[in-house]
A and B are shown apart, each in its own frame.
Chain A
């Protein structure tokens, strides 16, 4: 597939790398020549110095023959304009990144569709959804639901106190009568492992587990996670994400939001009726203590500064907050933050990138979820009549080493996959894949 990306910011760059690794023809366009040179030196793609809002530059990039046009420049107006132009000039599909909630309303989306924008991406919205989901299930690092929550994937930190620590996967599966969860990946010392039966859980492992909705309590128990209910939430930073999260949570939880800028705080207090907006510096320990950080069940740091978010979460953990969420926009920090035990990490660029990435896959992929801490994706495929994957037990299919089939949704029933599972047509299959495995598994569903 030929993909033209306008904007070599973090989302654009990350997407370009992902698409290159998946063997797509990628053209990256930006006005900053230096940025492009750096990427071009390391990835097999073409770069064009220019703007997506210039018809001449679009022509030069041969937009006519591109299958997908992705507009992720720094400004929304540029993004929308360039997508409209690209579509008129022959791009088959266009995606624009926006930052206005209004546009996402189903009625309004139609306007954009008529203008020629097929898909709108609002990274802050996606990040908010993820934060709220992770609060619903404490004890987990990241949580995704498939098919209205019939299957759930989450990331759990395994500690010494977990009953499954130091046991192999095979031993764990005999702990219960019925195998009702499946470990699809383990992240250990910065490396992603696709585990087999003889893999042993170790202290500090981050385990990615797929399970059915009913079995969640059991998984948490096995992982030694104590259940508690979130009542009090503190949000640090009145950024777009912060406000959105507060807005979503304020009716059911006690929410406090700390914003450093007085004017902004005043404005937020107006928007957020039920949230207690505090104007102050979140790095000030006295302030946090005064606002009762010790009584908080969850602490969400979403200031524009990744370092502040990481440190604030670290502090909150020390003061006894059980659940912390940090927005880490600097991709290089993610590994580090994961290792020092920050809790849930949010990176809106990675989230947006994997959302867009779905569009480059064949139509039988229903969802792609980005896993923040590991360089891997979770995909939901729909098996077809003539897919190679159906009709045989999984152990006999010769699946690639870099993918792992987690579970299947058949009609209303959710099934946890094991070696004997046979996939049938129309099954929705949740697959965990390393970047190198995505195209391989995609072929098996073709």
Chain B
């Protein structure tokens, strides 16, 4: 029997938490004295009252979370958070269309960063802040946050944790899941604060520094400026953001080890090495080509632009300092391929994830060896350990789903009348939680022109991507609902 009352109870509690964050952005609106204050407060009141009522009515229920309850809670909380999170945008009239508001909010929570706004700077500060903080919450994960602050979820918390944290096998930093969640959030918060301070040194205003730090650490990509990071013509600011995007795209477990002085563990981590290798290697290629094709850029600028775009796309942040669509086709295509890599497991990034890409490539390469030596036992080794066959199968299934959904999604987009490049870009960027796509949805364009159905469809893809396919797809599997 599905424990439906407990699911409602948890959702109610989480809604209260969302309400408190709305109050926080209400505080920002109050400081700036802008018109949106009332709408933040209304949204907060609705969320807190409704959440409180639901959890009050269902309290005292048996606190048991099985596998199915876990997947339902995690999937539905992201939808519920977006449904309520869109209220400040929608009620205030800043985004008059409900579909647009949902798209913008889902794109925020899933840290995609695709926007339908055509004039971001016209938004009041409170709404800009809300837009950034939903990315920050979605980055480390709503469930991980709740595990850290709601002890009640400790029971069966592992089910929830597994369903939300990216990567094939989540690491634990502490025997207890609530403690692991706390440590992750402390590191996350610590990096965010550090970035704010460094950006302030670069001359950014405190408001912009906070908002950009939120969306960098979440690998979200919402900026408070229409021109994104290109607005800041400062090499220092761009390098700071590159550094923090890179950190956010690495496994947070590694940051934890680094803080404890265990640098060897970081350096020896195979995924991290590949991550670093991909970033540097591809940046050098792009930088070199840029230097020779864009004569006016100069050597530092070429490599900075290359590094920024590469880190931004591979970590699925989606900030832009240059329009990669204006580069030579070879480079645009390279960036497109990068969209599928994604960050590391246990990071805030989306995409397929480096570890999966590497495991699959290794497995395919070993398959050649296996053909020559049919009786040989050749396990895939990762981090100097043989990876169990069940994980390889899981990764294979993931990538097959990913490619299939990508293909089917592209076809659906093209039915709506978009050209091939735009369709490919829009689906890849939504599924990978990146932000900018190709063609009509490139880095200097936005998603406003997509029809309503397309926006709902892309929002769904974002959710699929953020929860790494399985969590959401499971809900559509008949086996999931059979007793």
Contacts and interface: CB of A to CB of B under 8 A. Distances in A.
Interface of A: 2, 25-27, 33, 40-46
Interface stretch (B17-25, B168-176, B341-349, B374-382): B168-176
Contacts of B388: 33
B159 interface: yes
Given A25-B176, A26-B175, A46-B175, A41 B154 contact: no
A25 B174 contact: yes
B159 A41 contact: yes
B148 interface: no
Interface string B55-83: 00000000000010000000000000000
- Residue with the highest number of chain A CB atoms closer than 10 Å, among B154, B176, B177: B176
A149 to B, nearest CB: 40
Nearest to A46: B175
A231 B314 CA distance: 80
A36 B176 CA distance: 15
A45 B180 CA distance: 11
Closest 4 CB pairs of A and B: A46-B175, A25-B175, A46-B172, A27-B175
A27 B157 CA distance: 16
B174 A40 contact: no
Contacts of A26: 175
A127 B346 CA distance: 46
A19 to B, nearest CB: 10
Residues of A contacting B: mostly: mixed
B325 interface: no
Contacts of A46: 172, 174-176
A44 B174 contact: no
Contacts of A27: 175
9 contacts: A25-B174, A25-B175, A25-B179, A41-B159, A44-B154, A44-B155, A44-B175, A44-B177, A44-B178
Contacts of B172: 46
A25 B174 CA distance: 8
A44 B159 contact: no
Contact of B175 (A2, A41, A42): A2
A41 B177 CA distance: 12
Contacts of A45: 175-176
B158 interface: yes
Nearest to A49: B385
A185 B10 CA distance: 33
Interface string B169-195: 000101111110000000000000000
Interface string B116-160: 000000000000000000000000000000000000001101110
Contacts of A40: 158
A27 B388 CA distance: 21
A44 B176 CA distance: 6
A40 B135 CA distance: 30
A46 to B, nearest CB: 4
A41 B175 CA distance: 13
A405 B178 CA distance: 33
Which of B155, B172, B179, B388 has the largest number of chain A CB atoms within 10 A? B172
B333 to A, nearest CB: 41
A40 B175 CA distance: 10
A41 B169 CA distance: 12
Contacts of A33: 388
A46 B180 CA distance: 10
A2 B179 CA distance: 13
A41 B176 contact: no
A41 B174 contact: no
Contacts of B158: 40-44
Contacts of A25: 174-176, 179
Contacts of A41: 67, 158-159
A25 B179 CA distance: 10
A94 B472 CA distance: 45
Contacts of B175: 2, 25-27, 44-46
Which of B157, B158, B159, B178 counts the most A-chain CB atoms under 10 A from its CB?
Answer: B158
Nearest to A26: B175
Contacts of B157: 44
A45 B177 CA distance: 7
Nearest to B154: A44
A26 B157 CA distance: 15
A43 B174 CA distance: 13
Contacts of B67: 41
Contacts of B179: 25
A74 B414 CA distance: 61
A41 B388 CA distance: 17
A46 B157 CA distance: 13
A253 to B, nearest CB: 48
Nearest to B172: A46
A42 B155 CA distance: 9
A43 B161 CA distance: 12
B248 to A, nearest CB: 25
B45 to A, nearest CB: 35
Interface string B440-476: 0000000000000000000000000000000000000
Nearest to B67: A41
A117 B123 CA distance: 68
A215 to B, nearest CB: 39
Contacts of B177: 44
Nearest to B180: A46
A33 B388 CA distance: 9
Contacts of A2: 175
Contacts of B178: 44
A390 B74 CA distance: 46
Nearest to A33: B388
Interface string B262-273: 000000000000
A43 B388 CA distance: 22
Contacts of A42: 158
B37 to A, nearest CB: 41
B174 to A, nearest CB: 7
Contacts of B155: 44
A26 B174 CA distance: 9
B352 to A, nearest CB: 23
A44 B70 CA distance: 14
A375 to B, nearest CB: 16
A25 B159 CA distance: 18
Contacts of B159: 41
Given A25-B179, A44-B177, 9 more contacts: A2-B175, A25-B174, A25-B176, A33-B388, A44-B154, A44-B157, A45-B175, A45-B176, A46-B172
A50 to B, nearest CB: 11
A75 B18 CA distance: 52
B11 to A, nearest CB: 21
B158 to A, nearest CB: 6
